[in-house]
Amino acid sequence: MKIRREENMAGGKGHVIIKELLGEKELNGKCGLYAEVTIEPGCSLGYHEHHGESETYYILSGEGNYDDNGRIRPVKAGDITYTPDGCGHALSNSGNTDLVFMALIIKD
């Protein structure tokens, strides 16, 4: 498992911690990412678009604000988000504890 810390990811605030659960070999060219992602309080993953792929988040713990193509909505443990090809999203931690979620990028 590879763990990396990304500063100002996609123009977001602070940093994001990404635990890549599967490597390139296991993803077999079909997925771009399968990871557990942590956004600490006061941090965010900036707005970005997906082209030739989609991304799904499954929120494990914490709470945040999800930007779905410009529409902001709160998210919490148990929520699922889906960003199709050609659309964009962002996520910020709005709570006092870590916001942890699974991220899956599927290539079209």
Contact 23, 2 (CB under 8 A): yes
Averaged pLDDT, 4-9: 98
Return the closest-CA partner of residue 83 out of 39, 37, 38, 52.
52
Structural domains present in the chain:
2-42+51-107 (2.60.120.10)
Whole-number pLDDT of residue 1:
84
Mean pLDDT to the nearest integer, 19-32: 93
Average pLDDT over residues 5-23: 97
From the list 43, 32, 49, the residue with the least C-alpha distance to 87 is 49
| Average pLDDT in the chain | 97
pLDDT at 41 over 90: yes
Whether residue 52 has pLDDT greater than 90: yes
pLDDT bin (cut points 50, 70, 90) of residue 7 is very high
Report the pLDDT averaged over residues 73-101: 98
Are 57 and 80 in contact by the 8 Å Cβ rule? The answer is yes
